[in-house]
Structure 1
Amino acid sequence: MINNVVLVGRLTKDPDLRYTSGDSAVATFTLAVNRNFKNQNGDREADFVNCVIWHKPAKH
């Protein structure tokens, strides 16, 4: 079973691209994702999601 997740958000900074000793690309980044509702004060909040992508998608 594979879980698929789609996140829509903003990058908090440029992704960090690295390569493993086996020459596999690995990119790490954080997305700021707005919540669809307001808190008790009427403000919108965001969740910060740490992401890791591998191989060809990491290079693009």
Structure 2
Amino acid sequence: MTDNTNSSESQKQPTGETQRIIEQLLEQSRILRKKNEELIAELNESKTNPAILWSRD
């Protein structure tokens, strides 16, 4: 016999509040991904010009 107590729960659509949180997390993820890309580019550039790291804001 299988336990189906969570089957209907997992089928529910996100509520407005849940959807808003998901959208915020996705936006934060995009921002962090962009910042990571910028930092990686800066790090790669610093390998040829170490003074760049000291000139950061």
TM-score, scaled relative to structure 1? 0.21
Answer with 1 or 2: which has the greater Rg: 2
Higher helix proportion:
2
Using CA pairs under 8 Å that are at least 6 residues apart, name the structure with larger relative contact order, 1 or 2: 1
TM-score, scaled relative to structure 2? 0.21
Higher strand proportion:
1
